[in-house]
Amino acid sequence: MITLKKITNKKEMKQFVTFPFSLYKNNKYWVPPIIKDEIDNFDPQKNPVFENAEAHFFIALQNGKIVGRIVAIINWFEVEKQQIKKMRFGWFDVINNIAVTKALLEKVKEIGLKNNLEYIEGPIGFNNLDKTGVLIDGFDHIGTMITWYNHPYYKDHLEQLGFVKEKEYLENKFKFKEVDSTYYNRIAKILKKRFKLKALNFSKTKDILPYVDEMFEVFNKSYSKLSSFVPISDAQIAFFKKKYIGFINPEYIKFVTNEHHKLVAFAIVMPSFSEALQKAKGKLFPFGLFYLLNARKNAKDVTFYLIGVDPEYQNKGVHAVIFDEYTKIFEKKGIENCIRTPELEDNEAIKKIWENFNPVTHKRRRTYRISI
């Protein structure tokens, strides 16, 4: 018999967060989170995303053993301001038993019905900074700290239960040695002169912080046309700043300003923490922090986390200025592989940005939907 239990305290939340550690035990492609960070992320007292959203956490039990988990999410900004009557679900993990999947998703549906919502979409998080999509191809590639990994049967469960494709995302990678650095250096010089642009580089985190709010202004502008977009609030920006900016190598954050010193483009690249997180096994101490700091400094693979260009400067090739700066630092650090975060398959603008890099699609993921 399958029963569902709602998470109501910290002890149960730890069980919720650590369930995937047993589900993916000995899987060399799954990348675990830091347990404490994940618990804090779900704490309404610590994560400001709960100012505009609510979440219900459930685990599925069978014979007293956890066999699945899910978060049922309502983003009230999306529902009330954007008039998108969507019930979200995320952090979905389950054994290969479709009855467990059905029980978890029926609970999501129940909450959606109570709130007069029209359809369910998932797996997705609270907003565009969260992980998204169920992996449907590329199971033999290591995950990243900013994507979910899952077993192949997740897709089958969803489709058997009547869910249909909503959005598809591509994950691409390319070899840095194939990037023509002289080309981007030449183009960057032309663009800087033509549009009076300046690239900002950093060696200290404290010098980046004054620009972060403005960076998210550009982020909101540049991502607003995407169908998945939900604006990032000031409180969420402050949370992001505290949680992530200090941990990213400052040399991997690039800004571009115009003649009025206004930020018009940005990019954040992260060194790959995947292997370090696998070694840490969910804990910062006693050795996890060492593994992560070592990766921050010495990783030979990098992940392009965010890139944004103010709409006024889009289609002008401004990204070439950013890439020119990255080629300089990547050459210095001996970077080998560049990995891109999931991008919507129909995002033609982002495809044009990367077309000269000979990218290879190594993973695909989807969100699924069903009417309530």
Residue 227 has pLDDT above 70, yes or no: no
Residue 353, pLDDT score: 83
DSSP string, 235-283: HHHHHHHHHTGGGS-GGGEEEEE-TTS-EEEEEEEEE--HHHHHHHTT-
Q: With H, G, I as helix, E, B as strand and everything else as coil, classify residue 48.
A: helix
Task: Place 267 in a pLDDT band, splitting at 50, 70 and 90.
Answer: very high
pLDDT given at position 63: 94
Extract the runs of DSSP E, i.e. beta strands, from 140-204: 164-175, 198-200
In 63-175, DSSP assigns E strands to 65-75, 86-94, 119-122, 134-137, 164-175
What mean pLDDT comes out for the span 78-82? 93
Side-chain half-sphere exposure of 251, counting CA atoms within 13 A? 14
- The amino acid present at 186, given as its one-letter code, is R
Task: Quick: pLDDT tens for 179-226.
Answer: 999 999 999 999 999 999 999 999 999 999 999 999 999 999 988 877
pTM, whole model, 2 decimals?
A: 0.94
**Interval 305-363: pLDDT, tens:** 999 999 999 889 999 999 999 999 999 999 999 999 999 999 888 888 888 888 999 99
Structure tokens at 353: 């940005």
Map out the domains of the chain with their CATH numbers.
2-170 (3.40.630.30), 174-363 (3.40.630.30)
Pairing of strands 337-340, 65-75: unpaired
What percent of the chain shows pLDDT beyond 70? 99
pLDDT for 291-320, tens place per residue?
999 999 999 999 999 999 999 998 899 999
pLDDT of residue 89: 98
User: In which band, very low, low, confident or very high, does the pLDDT at 241 lie, cut at 50, 70 and 90?
Assistant: confident
Taking 70 as the threshold, does the pLDDT of residue 228 lie above it?
A: no
The Cα-based distances of 7 to 17, 212, 301 in angstroms read 11, 34, 37
**Per-residue pLDDT tens over the stretch 114-158:** 999 999 999 999 988 899 999 999 999 999 999 999 999 999 999
